[in-house]
A and B are shown apart, each in its own frame.
Chain A
Amino acid sequence: EVQLLESGGGLVQPGGSLRLSCAASGFTFNNYDMSWVRLAPGKGLEWVSVITSDGGKRYNADSLEGRFTISRDNSRNTLYLQMNSLRAEDTAIYYCAKTLVGLVTFDYWGQGTLVTVSS
């Protein structure tokens, strides 16, 4: 059974940093690209970032302005999202998602971790 378990969310002040983790199990992690998607209060789903299976390529949403960095450790079956210079508008539930082979769409999702940016 595929499982994705996010952690690392919490309350952070504007301008602060946070690192999210997503522990994966139930599939061969290093065979799949992985992604982060967020859901802000009162808004719709927003794609954040994707990383290829070997970690060699990464793509971010333009709106992030380079503040977020996706990474992975295939030896630990874990996906990460380093978030810097956080703003109030980054407040959201962050989901990690497993992609279909070779495609940036998703078949499995984690339960999400809440990030709140507030003073």
Chain B
Amino acid sequence: DIQMTQSPSSLSAFIGDSVTITCRATQRVYNYLAWFQQKPGKAPKSLIFAISNLHSGVPSRFSGGGSGTDFTLTIYGLQPEDAATYYCQQYHKYPITFGQGTRLEI
């Protein structure tokens, strides 16, 4: 199975800051890498697919990058509503796997 490891597990930042979350896979996943946001008591929200493609309606302050086994999610100009847990996901091979999550406190 492909293991996905996110870092940090949690972080705290201020409104207006930029933050980067990293996601490392145990083998190459090519461009089959997605990011999701989940707030307590809410359904996950899809942010990014294929490393860097934003889903419709996702603010442009969210940006994805990376290649091979190492990927990033960067949020520019943090807003209060960005407080959430963020997950990466690989969909290159079954079983589909998620990272353990990164909790972002604003």
Contacts and interface: CB of A to CB of B under 8 A. Distances in A.
A95 B89 CA distance: 16
Contact of A109 (B1, B46, B100): B46
Contact of A107 (B46, B96, B100): B46
Contacts, number: 60
Nearest to B49: A105
Interface string B64-99: 000000000000000000000101010100111111
Interface residues of B, number: 23
B44 A95 contact: yes
Interface majority SS (helix, strand, loop, mixed), chain A: strand
Give the size range of A's interface with the partner. 20 to 34
B43 A95 contact: yes
A6 to B, nearest CB: 10
Contact of B95 (A39, A61, A100, A111): A61
Contacts of B44: 37, 45, 95, 97, 106, 109
A47 B95 contact: yes
Contacts of A47: 89, 95-98
Interface of B: 1, 32, 34, 36, 38, 43-46, 49, 55, 85, 87, 89, 91, 94-101
